[in-house]
């Protein structure tokens, strides 16, 4: 009997909604692509996006900028990071996170994760006490939201400023409060593989007048900051306008137009991801060799990717398991590989960090962790096929 093969590509996104395409064409026809290139009385697409996203997120202010990594960089600077300052961050994340810390002049101090891919709270507390760090850049990696009540209370106790990397949690929540509304600043990415797609792009949100004023000037506003979509009192700019360098990283009107058209569908898309996640998780859960992360009741997740562990596999059997899945059309990423691959890298391959950091628990968990993207071009029925292939190949690899 021939084996089932899955035919759809794992990297194909849905088309930009028709309204977004029309809107983009209007911007192109106008020629006014730069966010400060407005007619008298006109509000730019970028400024409108800032208003609409701030409202959706439930934040006072939003800044649209060049990328998620760029937003993280200026968020750290706007929150007051000084050269050489220690920045706590979970060890399981993607390379733009330590990259942003480095770019802002900080020193990443890594924190362990637990078997559910969330930051390890006991280790976080120990690192807060030991490092004296004044900043915690929490990456909600792969959409796993840690206990935000506990994290906020630890940050308060140690006088640590919390910055949230919400690249994977746009639309997620903890206890009914949106991810990104717990720290002093939050950063989102609108790069193609995230929850809204403008190719590249970033959104920064905050309720803090000083932070938004600095972030706007950092982003390259020149003295045109008054044209932004969400503004603090003019006095906030008076305090920072001449002391804040221009790190040119604006969003243009074309991307903003594309994003504005996607925002109304975001909530519904989150449900669509979750339906697909649930179907796949249900299928994988039938195999006792596969461990799925526990999702706490307080978490409103967005299942745009799925992680699972197969503790019965090891570095000798894993490459064949991955190849066998790939041969049947299922693209798995492995976070345990010693060599970085594609978008995936482990903290010990970031050689520019302080190199004497050892996170044995994180390495142990990642050693048998697999990850797959759930693009919305897959339908719910596809998830049963993917689940069957993984289930088969886990059994074959574990010799069942």
Ligand X SMILES: *Cc1c(COP(=O)(O)O)cnc(C)c1O
Residues of this chain that interact with ligand X (CB under 6 A) are 67-69, 93-94, 96-97, 139, 141, 165, 167-168, 189, 191, 202
Q: Cβ atoms within 10 A of the Cβ of 13, count?
A: 12
What is the three-class DSSP state of 341?
A: strand
Nearer to ligand X, 97 or 251 (CB): 97
Tell the smallest beta-carbon distance from residue 255 to ligand X (Å). 11
Give me the residue whose beta carbon is nearest to ligand X: 68
Nearer to ligand X, 124 or 204 (CB): 204
Tell the smallest beta-carbon distance from residue 71 to ligand X (Å). 8
Tell the smallest beta-carbon distance from residue 141 to ligand X (Å). 6
How many Å is the Cα radius of gyration of the chain?
Answer: 22
Nearer to ligand X, 92 or 237 (CB): 92
Are the beta carbons of 188 and 71 closer than 8 angstroms? yes
Tell the smallest beta-carbon distance from residue 168 to ligand X (Å). 6
Q: What token pair was written down for 345? A: 């890298």
Are the beta carbons of 206 and 230 closer than 8 angstroms? no
Nearer to ligand X, 202 or 232 (CB): 202
Tell the smallest beta-carbon distance from residue 385 to ligand X (Å). 26
Tell the smallest beta-carbon distance from residue 288 to ligand X (Å). 30
Please list the alpha-helical segments (H only) found in 96-160. 96-103, 121-131, 148-158
Q: What token pair was written down for 241? A: 């306008």
Residue in the structure block whose two tokens are 């001449």: 242
- Rounded CA-CA distance 367/361 in Å is 10
Tell the smallest beta-carbon distance from residue 389 to ligand X (Å). 25
169 Cβ contact partners less than 8 Å away, ≥ 6 residues apart: 140, 143, 145, 179, 180, 302
Nearer to ligand X, 124 or 166 (CB): 166
Nearer to ligand X, 166 or 240 (CB): 166
Tell the smallest beta-carbon distance from residue 194 to ligand X (Å). 6
Nearer to ligand X, 237 or 370 (CB): 370
Nearer to ligand X, 258 or 385 (CB): 258
**What separation in angstroms does the CA of 392 have from each of 7, 59, 209, 307, 376?**
17, 46, 54, 17, 24
- Rounded CA-CA distance 335/274 in Å is 23
Are the beta carbons of 204 and 186 closer than 8 angstroms? yes
- Rounded CA-CA distance 215/65 in Å is 10
Nearer to ligand X, 139 or 230 (CB): 139
Tell the smallest beta-carbon distance from residue 388 to ligand X (Å). 28
Q: At what angle do helices 318-327 and 380-397 cross, to 10 degrees?
A: 140
- Rounded CA-CA distance 135/148 in Å is 16
DSSP 217-285: HHTT-TT-GGGSSS---HHHHHTTTTTS-----BPPHHHHHHHHHHGGGHHHHHHHHHHHHHHHHHHHT
- Phi, psi for 169 (deg, rounded to 5): -125, 25
Tell the smallest beta-carbon distance from residue 342 to ligand X (Å). 13
Nearer to ligand X, 87 or 313 (CB): 87
């Amino acid at each position: 009997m021939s084996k089932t093969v899955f035919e759809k590509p794992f990297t194909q996104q849905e088309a930009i909604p028709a309204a977004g395409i029309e809107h983009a064409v209007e911007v192109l026809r106008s020629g006014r692509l730069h966010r400060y290139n407005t007619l008298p009385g006109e509000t730019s697409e970028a400024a409108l996006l800032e208003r609409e996203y701030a409202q959706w997120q439930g934040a006072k202010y939003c800044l649209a900028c060049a990328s998620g990594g760029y937003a993280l960089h200026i968020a750290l600077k706007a929150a007051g990071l000084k050269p050489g300052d220690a920045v706590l961050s979970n060890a399981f994340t993607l390379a733009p996170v330590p990259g942003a810390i480095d770019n802002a002049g900080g020193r990443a101090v890594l924190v362990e994760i637990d078997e559910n891919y969330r930051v390890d709270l006991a280790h976080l507390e120990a690192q807060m006490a030991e490092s004296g760090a004044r900043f915690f850049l929490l990456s909600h990696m792969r959409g796993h939201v840690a206990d935000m009540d506990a994290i906020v209370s630890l940050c308060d106790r140690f006088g640590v400023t919390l910055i949230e990397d919400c690249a994977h949690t746009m639309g997620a929540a903890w206890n009914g409060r949106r991810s990104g509304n717990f720290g002093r600043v939050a950063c989102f990415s609108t790069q193609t593989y995230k929850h809204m797609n403008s190719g590249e792009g970033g959104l920064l949100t905050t309720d803090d007048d000083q932070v938004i004023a600095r972030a706007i000037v950092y982003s390259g506003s020149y003295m045109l900051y008054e044209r932004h979509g969400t503004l603090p009192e003019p006095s906030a700019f008076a305090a920072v306008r001449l002391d804040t360098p221009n790190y040119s990283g604006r969003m243009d009107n074309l991307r903003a137009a594309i994003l504005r058209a996607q925002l109304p569908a975001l909530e519904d898309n989150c449900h669509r991801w979750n339906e697909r996640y649930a179907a796949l998780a249900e299928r994988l859960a039938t195999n006792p060799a596969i461990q799925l992360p526990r999702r706490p009741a307080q978490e409103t997740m967005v299942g745009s990717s799925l992680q699972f562990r197969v503790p019965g596999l090891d570095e000798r059997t894993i490459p064949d398991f991955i190849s066998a899945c790939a041969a049947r059309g299922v693209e798995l990423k492995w976070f345990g590989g010693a060599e970085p691959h594609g978008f995936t890298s482990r903290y010990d391959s970031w050689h520019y960090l302080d190199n004497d950091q050892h996170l044995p628990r994180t390495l142990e968990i990642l050693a048998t962790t697999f990850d797959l993207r759930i693009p919305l071009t897959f339908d719910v029925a596809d998830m049963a096929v993917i689940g069957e292939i993984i289930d088969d190949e886990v059994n074959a690899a574990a010799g069942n």
